[in-house]
Homo-oligomer: A and B are copies of this chain.
Amino acid sequence: MARPSRYGASDLLDAAVRLAAEGGPAAVTMAAVAKSVGAPSGSVYHRFADRPALLSELWLRTLDNFQSGFLSALESTAPRTAAMDAARHTVCWARDHPAEARVLRYNPRDFEQARWPQEAGRALQAANTRVYGAVHTLAHRLGATGQVDVERVVVAVIDVPYALVQRHLQEGSPVPSHVLETVAQCTAALLPGGGEPPS
């Protein structure tokens, strides 16, 4: 049918992830991505309509790579193990995919969300509501009743592992293994019913 592609979309996105992890969103220029894989800039524009389109795919692909494992961890039948598994998944995924995890440290806004194609904006919203919905129902399965209880589950399952992991990643160092235990303790302590007393 046609000439085979030498620089595929996923190759370019891989390069973009590396650049973003090292130099932040500003480092993801079309020229830098092209240079990073040895392609001329025209090849990048052949795959992505413009820079916002590339950035949106970069963000959405990375987010989905993380969320898919997170969501399947939440599907465990026992709600408490679901919560613990999800929290641990965040740590393990970040440990195993440091560059991608460093991308998620930022915000869609930092990746020019305002200029994304409409479809990308909707996809992002869908992904976010899907995760928040899953955590919400988890909170109810855990017996959370009020607004504050639900918030507390969100902190336990999302914010604490995320914060602990990012603190290490942002220094460029890998995620130490003891973080897994710290997160497990903190999450357990914050879930309804509490954890073993701290000391």
Contact = CB atoms under 8 A, between A and B. Distances in A.
Contact of A24 (B109, B149, B193): B109
Interface stretch (A30-38, A45-53, A118-126, A159-167): A159-167
Nearest to A145: B199
Secondary structure at the A interface, as helix, strand, loop or mixed, is helix
Interface stretch (A10-18, A66-74, A87-95, A179-187): A179-187
Interface of A: 24-26, 105, 107, 109-110, 143-145, 147-149, 151-152, 155, 159-160, 162-164, 167, 170, 178, 181-182, 185-186, 189-194, 197-199
A148 B24 contact: no
Contacts of A190: 186, 189-190, 198
B191 A194 contact: no
A149 B148 CA distance: 25
A152 B182 contact: yes
Nearest to A149: B199
Given A148-B185, A155-B160, A155-B182, 16 more contacts: A24-B25, A24-B110, A143-B199, A144-B199, A149-B198, A152-B185, A155-B163, A159-B159, A160-B163, A162-B163, A163-B163, A189-B194, A191-B198, A192-B198, A193-B198, A194-B194
